Amino acid sequence: MIPAELPKRTALTFDEIMSTTTSPDTQFRAARWQGDHAGYLELIDQTLLPTTFKIIECRTVEEVWEAIKKLRVRGAPAIGIAAAYGVCLGLQTVPADAEEDDTDFFARLKEVAEYLATSRPTAVNLFWALDRMQRKAESLRGSTSLLDLKEQLLTEAKTIESEDQAMCEAMGQAGAELMPAGGGILTHCNTGGLATAAYGTALSVIYFAHKNGKGIQVFADETRPLLQGARLTMWELQQWKIPSTLICDSMAAQVMKEGKIQAVITGADRIAANGDSANKIGTYGLAVLAKAHNIPFYIAAPSSTFDLSLASGDQIPIEERASEEITCGYGKQTAPDDVQVYNPAFDVTPAELIQAIICEHGVIDPVTTDNIAKVLGK
């Protein structure tokens, strides 16, 4: 049974957070484990930002599923991290002293992983993390106690988180070199510390370009219908004191035409073997606009976001979310009753529209199947 509401641990106003958080080095982490294998997961409830900052405690796998489904935690890397910790929570129901038989343990592991996999279909990091946790457990099967299995799986989840922190910095450093000095950079949705374990993906590139003195000006799309750009990206950019301007999604073409944009950079939730990239709805349109205005379009994403089992973006499953996100956004009805709604959460940008993909291994340019395989070492 999915809980209707998660417990509240900490609540801070926007001004209180702003007074204590000025860089990714000090900001609150999107996901944080507390305690040993019998501990719990803390998440920032991102549905309440920017006006309220709350940390919620997830003590069951059902609460993690709900947090992912309801976008309390979001962003492909952060979803993967939360799912890995969710596995640890789900296994807490198996007694650690049942040493004579691990059948129940591995049956529960399979059940938990399959359950978490139903939370959201598009972000491949979710499935990557769940598969990694299962492979880790299988590699230890029969060679250690159930208590040690639990502890080792928690260590694996923490490793996934720490690896993402390192990847965020590597992407930021590599991508900053591509950003235009003194130029305007347009971004879409949220790709910062709230979506990852540290600096972010596309926002990491922006952060390091700013930190390196490039004198950039950021333009952030509000990102309809859930306004992640307005609520989350602008929140992070203000904390980091990066010059930034919020625009409506429909203003991007005009801002480009006025010559205010010299680069576009976004994240991704799944990248096919040929470079076709799924990201928040509206990204494809930005890539088309960038091409029409001769502006380079970049994507920043870790290697865990690549799904080399898919030849092209045509095979990427696209999540369709509830119609109420459009018709009754944030509690106010903005459309007639019983109106038909189509609400895909993602779209796919073809590889030919992408100037380069930035990952922790470097810059993939040009974006081709062979070059992707070469850079990723696969």
Considering the domain architecture, whether residues 161 and 229 belong to the same structural domain is answered as no
- pTM to 2 decimals? 0.88
In a domain, 135, yes or no: yes
Please give the pLDDT value at position 330. Answer: 85
Q: Is residue 1 included in any domain, yes or no?
A: no
The answer on 326 and 189 residing in a single domain is: yes
Examine the domain organization and report whether 44 and 57 are in the same domain: yes
Q: What is the pLDDT of residue 21?
A: 45
Assigned domain for 180 exists: yes
Identify the CATH number of the domain in which residue 279 sits. Answer: 3.40.50.10470
Domain with residue 102: its CATH number is 1.20.120.420
By the 8 A CB rule, do 70 and 58 touch?
no
H or E element that contains 277: strand 277-280
Same domain flag for 211 and 251: yes
Domain assignment of residue 3, yes or no: no
Same domain assignment for residues 133 and 93: yes
Q: Output the pLDDT for position 26.
A: 42
Q: Tokens for 116?
A: 């978490």
Write out pLDDT tens, residues 81-91: 999 999 999 99
DSSP state of 6: P
* Grouped pLDDT means (10 residues each) for the chain, 378 residues: 38 42 56 96 95 95 97 94 98 79 92 97 92 97 92 98 95 97 98 94 97 97 97 94 97 98 97 98 98 98 95 97 94 94 98 98 97 92
Question: Residue 98: what pLDDT?
Answer: 59
Residue 343 located in a structural domain: yes
Of residues 269, 276, 307, 347, which has the active-site annotation? 269
pLDDT of residue 27: 52
Same domain? 122 vs 208 = no
Residue 230, domain member (yes or no): yes
The residue from 168, 192, 218 where one domain ends is 168
93 and 236 in a single domain? The answer is no
Domain assignment present for 221: yes
Do 246 and 146 have their domain in common?
no
**pLDDT number for residue 142:** 85
User: How many domains does the chain divide into?
Assistant: 2
Q: Residue 274: which domain range?
A: 173-376
Q: Which residues pair with 221 in a beta bridge?
A: 247
What's the pLDDT tens digit per position in 89-137? 999 999 877 556 789 999 999 999 999 999 999 889 999 999 999 999 9
Let me know whether 128 and 231 are in one domain. no
Which residues have C-beta within 8 Å of that of residue 135, sequence separation ≥ 6?
A: none
Which of 168, 198, 219 is the endpoint of a domain? 168
Q: From residue 112, how far is each of 118, 134, 350 by CA, in Å?
A: 10, 10, 34
141: part of which helix (H) or strand (E)?
none
Nearest CA to 160 out of 89, 84, 271, 88 is that of: 84
According to DSSP, residue 320 is labeled: B
The domain boundary residue, chosen from 151, 168, 185: 168
Residues in the chain: 378
Question: How far apart are the C-alpha atoms of 319 and 316, rounded to whole Å?
Answer: 10
How would you list the strands of the sheet with 184-187, edge to edge?
244-247, 217-221, 184-187, 263-266, 297-300, 356-359, 362-364
Which pLDDT score is estimated for 346? Answer: 97
Whose structure tokens read 């999540």? 319
Query: Is there a catalytic annotation at residue 276?
Result: no
Within-domain flag for 2: no
Q: What mean pLDDT value characterizes the chain?
A: 92
